[in-house]
Amino acid sequence: MALDKILSIGGRPGLYRLLTQTRSGFVGESLLDGKRVTVGIRSNVSVLSEIAIYTLEEEVPLREVFQKRKEKEKGEKTSIGHKEEKIKLEEYFFEVLPDYDEDRVYASDIKKVIQWYNILHENGITDFSETDDEDKTSEEE
C-alpha cells in the first residue's frame, strides 16, 4: 500500500488507512487497533505522501526519509523508541538524514516520524518507493 492512502489525523493517535471518501469527509481505519472512524472535511488531516522534512538545501519527501531509515535498520523497526530523550532522537535522526534543518525540524517531529515508521513496519507497509502518479509526473517533466 502506498503512502498516499495513509493519513495522520490531528488530535488522534497513530496513522489511518483511507477506506472511502464521503460527501462530508472520509472513513479511515486505524493502523493501531483496526477501529474505523469517520472524519469530517474540517479536520486537520495530512496524507503521508505529501509530507516532507526540511533539510539545509531542500525538502525531502517523507517516503525518502522512511526508505533511508529502512536501509539503516536493514528492514527492521527503529533501534530507538519515539519516547527517548531529545538528544538521542536528534542523534539518531542525524544518522538517517545528516543535513536536516535543526532549526525547523523539532524533537516532536522526529518522534512522529519514528513512531509512524514503526507503525507502518508493524502493519507490513515497507515499500516506500514512488507511487504510480509520481512516476508519471516525473516522466512528463
pLDDT in tens, the chain (141 residues): 688 999 999 999 999 999 999 889 999 999 999 999 999 988 999 999 999 999 999 999 999 999 999 999 888 999 898 999 999 999 999 999 999 999 999 999 999 999 999 999 999 998 887 754 444 444 444
Residues 64 and 117 in one domain: yes
Asked if residue 10 is part of any domain, the answer here is yes
The structural domain count of the chain equals 2
Residues 29 and 55 in one domain: no
Give the CA dihedral 43, 93, 133, 13, nearest 10 degrees: -30
Residues 55 and 82 in one domain: yes
Residues 6+ apart with CB under 8 A from 128: 3, 63, 64, 66, 67, 70
Residues 60 and 106 in one domain: yes
pTM for this prediction: 0.86
Asked if residue 128 is part of any domain, the answer here is no
